[in-house]
Structure 1
């Protein structure tokens, strides 16, 4: 594969929560409700049908999409289906993982150099597919295959969420019909020293070190689609008008681990939903900026 437009933008700084407030008036539940700003580009690889590169904080992900192409030319496992099928894989570079002894066990992501996925990578690939597949209009391509290859170049927390966002951009770059973009974000709860040790801090888009201190974590992916409003008659003259389209969010992936109370789960879901809305707007803006850039480049070409 040939890199055609790779770059290393400056990463947005993460707010630190290493020193929680000791103010006695602080509530038991605090939160950091801002995601890291995304840095993304599409069309960064020349050979795939679609590709994307994304940075979220210090986590860096690249995704390549191939297809849709006839299942008859694919692996035997895909040849005998009338429907379009999606195949996803996800690998971590050896250099992407954290140092040995990391409490998250990122040292288990070590199979990529042998081109064979580890169990952790296979699990993440399954969750990635569950998150993005509902957005793709697979019925448009019977007896075809769409392959999504994702590579984590640098891991510093939120790798699954970043992979989902990156794959969504790569699918759009490939021109594959989609209902909408899928955005995903992660959060974790970290015990704090407030309220006699019973307090906790909710952290949206945590770093690897923050995830290592957490007592629970969550990843939420949402598909945002716009549904056109029905056209109706506004007056006796028969003039037809349409109201604003409605925005619908569908949860496509919800992964949760660790310890959560009922109230904490609801707070975490609301926090992740807000994060997904923020990231969806950033993904949309990214595609619009890239489209405008492409249009300007085409307009500057001499006839």
Structure 2
């Protein structure tokens, strides 16, 4: 399994490609947009430059990592020889199901199909393939090259062989894999997203402001980043999608997205990716509180 295909050149996809390539795997980074691929490679290069500057890797290791990555806009050409595919496309159920249908036709019979989904059921994704025993969740944390955790999620039909292969592969990447079962939100997001949602509710109810809420959680609970700033970095649209999946899966009101979050997503205030969320990330400005226009 030295040939890895990574689908999606965004934040998670380029981080996953970077990590595999750094540990000697040949990576096919696939995206429908050449611009996305170019941006993804630029991000990988910038992150590698930081590692060189901090003496974590050498210039030769940087070059070797980049040489291990090839880019494709054609799914078939990029994935046809992969031993493992890691899908890291947008958190959209229809897109993921269509991708896995196509991958099932394109890839060799023994290829493992993994998804980096934050919340969409692995069993549901596996059901559209003819190899459900070889479909698994491989949920990396952001930023991928730095964060140690990989949630390894077994679908209903995922085999022991597939699970053990992915657990060992994760260890080869110097990660700490943690096996979990296939329920909405898995473990990380089942705990994290209600906390973020409650922080947004606290703002919505005018209990405290953005910086005040984040300061309480950073200084009082020893969180490295406040929940509202973290939501901005995850993407408010992603937070909204994960909460919707959990609300649909559990039918419990506590998972329903806060109306403030819903309105911000509708308004295109998605966090870092759009330049504004709970904080302002426009141009070179430091993150600042946005106005309370969405709390009324």
Query: What's the TM-score, normalizing by structure 2?
Result: 0.27
Higher relative contact order (CA 8 A, sep 6+): 1
The structure with more strand, counted as a fraction of residues? 1
Query: What's the TM-score, normalizing by structure 1?
Result: 0.26
The structure that has the greater radius of gyration is 1
